Structure 1
């Protein structure tokens, strides 16, 4: 496996060092890398003095592990990931599968050390935003958002920003529209920059529907919560296992477990579980071989009407109507 130790940042002084480790060069912001590493487009550009974007639309020809060790901790990384294949975010000893049908959105403090492992054959489409914390704080202040926690939200002494989630439908559509664009077209940069601002606004809107908890977390805490997330995702066809079971597995009190889970996901464990169960139900209904009754049975809903009610509350449409739209 090829290992690359690098940093990100709003300033693009990290680009040359990263590309050199890939045995390549940079031409007009584009990574020119040997085909035996990967094929496709890898592109970095500054959107503003406060935002830089990196677009990676590639197929890996060999295993690569990127070890992110940021020199500057003045930004937040927002990572949209529509990979098809095997790719992992690794925090400490905990691996988090990332990709189109898994967690496809990560919002991470630049102070965190993260490894990103990609297997040969993986098709990647990643959009990474590096946004200065001071810019985000100013924007939220002017918008009167998170005013009760804003003083400490971006302060490393009080808070660690870490969240794994699934992008909302609006962000998903923007990413797909971007994926269909020709990166060599004259208008591509304009469309990319417009997409960046839309996606940033989408993340903020999505954050408004999540609780924000100010707290420092260490790698041991993150490892335990991510392990609990993975376990819950494996149990979507079963009943919710209960806070006592999850807290015991995490070696925490129930109070601490619920608080940290809220910190990392923005949701309570039970809400996270049901939200992902309904998302899976929606994905199953996209396959015409499944009826509503079969999906309800498979995912352990009490009956089809129970699924129908929760589905309507979550997505604003009845399951039958959703299936008919496909």
Structure 2
């Protein structure tokens, strides 16, 4: 397995040693074209503003590679958004985590002082956006908010550093979906990447600011009730949507209270959450090699109209379900 060692900075000089180790081509200090024996694809780096930069990776890795990021003196937090087709591995402080849309956990936030590595899946498309943010921009936010969704915190002598591992909201997923099939050579690609990166940060901050508001905070009992309905939906993806009336009753809430509470927890509606998870299951079934047609998968998931199933699948993944169908071997 080939190992690449690098560090991050807000300016493009970090790429130079990275390119040498990969024996790759770099264009305009922005675009890295991976050599074909390592991967088919590229990365794109640009500075959004003086204290924020972004790295976009879109590639199918051909052979095992481990990208090892070394700590540096640059005061950064790294927001890693991962919407890859399969599970990638990210190691933080010698602990392995699965990340990617396939695994339903698509976000890691890492202090630049903590060593980490990234191991993309072989022969699967890796889609990742890493937003590099100077710590001074986040000082007040970190002081006010506890990153309490699967949090990991470490204390080092003289200071506190943290990393966070969790899920993104549905709007952020759609934002990343909107750029993943664009050509990096389009004139407006860089502007779009910058805009999407700022929106991803905005969605993240909004999520935690909303949860920190006294008016929006849910009690532990309410959180438990909402999670109970979420788990029920995840356990019953082969059936139809159970209805808001049913879920609200399960949570012991009125319909309006339930919808509001669910939105606060997951930044989406119960129905949209169910559809997203159902389509993720559909993709697994299509790729399993256990079915001969889209119709079989559609009926397996209790859909009756192929046009509706196809439209929802395309809406989430930006390609048709037939593109993922691996027919049963005879």
Q: Please give the range of the TM-score, normalised by the shorter of the 2 chains.
A: 0.5 to 0.7
Alignment partner of 1:290 is 2:239:
yes
Counterpart in 1 of 2:104? 102
Counterpart in 2 of 1:306? 250
1:54, 1:127 within 8 Å by CA — same for their partners in 2?
yes
CA distance in 1, matches of 2:50, 2:273: 45
Measured at CA, do residues 157 and 187 of structure 1 come closer, stay the same or move farther in structure 2, by a change above 3 Å? same
Measured at CA, do residues 171 and 27 of structure 1 come closer, stay the same or move farther in structure 2, by a change above 3 Å? same
Please provide the CA RMSD for this pair.
3.8
1:5-56: per-residue Cα shift (whole Å, max 9, x none)?
Answer: 1111212211011111111131121112211101123111111111111000
CA distance in 2, matches of 1:125, 1:274: 34
1:115-171: per-residue Cα shift (whole Å, max 9, x none)?
Answer: 21123212111000001112334xx5xxxx666589xxxx98332121111111221
1:72-129: per-residue Cα shift (whole Å, max 9, x none)?
Answer: 2401100100112241111233210000033101111111111211232121110000
- Return 5+ residue gaps in structure 2 as ranges: 147-155, 213-217, 276-302, 313-330
In the superposition, the TM-score normalised over structure 1's length comes to: 0.66
1:311, 1:319 within 8 Å by CA — same for their partners in 2?
no
In the superposition, the TM-score normalised over structure 2's length comes to: 0.65
1:277-321: per-residue Cα shift (whole Å, max 9, x none)?
Answer: 655655677x5x41356x9xxxxxx98941695963314746599
Counterpart in 1 of 2:116? 114
1:59 Cα offset (Å): 0.5
Measured at CA, do residues 318 and 179 of structure 1 come closer, stay the same or move farther in structure 2, by a change above 3 Å? closer
Measured at CA, do residues 74 and 93 of structure 1 come closer, stay the same or move farther in structure 2, by a change above 3 Å? closer
2:83, 2:173 within 8 Å by CA — same for their partners in 1?
no
1:87, 1:99 within 8 Å by CA — same for their partners in 2?
yes
1:244-297: per-residue Cα shift (whole Å, max 9, x none)?
Answer: xxxxxxxxxxxxxxxxxxxxxxx9999998777655655677x5x41356x9xx
Q: Secondary structure of the residue that 2:159 maps to in structure 1?
A: coil
- Return 5+ residue gaps in structure 1 as ranges: 212-266, 296-301
Counterpart in 2 of 1:196? 197
Q: Secondary structure of the residue that 2:18 maps to in structure 1?
A: helix
1:6, 1:14 within 8 Å by CA — same for their partners in 2?
yes
1:9, 1:72 within 8 Å by CA — same for their partners in 2?
no
CA distance in 2, matches of 1:5, 1:268: 45
Measured at CA, do residues 271 and 53 of structure 1 come closer, stay the same or move farther in structure 2, by a change above 3 Å? farther
Alignment partner of 1:177 is 2:178:
yes
CA distance in 2, matches of 1:303, 1:166: 22
Q: Secondary structure of the residue that 1:159 maps to in structure 2?
A: strand
1:39, 1:58 within 8 Å by CA — same for their partners in 2?
yes
2:79, 2:110 within 8 Å by CA — same for their partners in 1?
yes
Moved over 4 A (4+): 145-150, 267-285, 307-311, 316-326
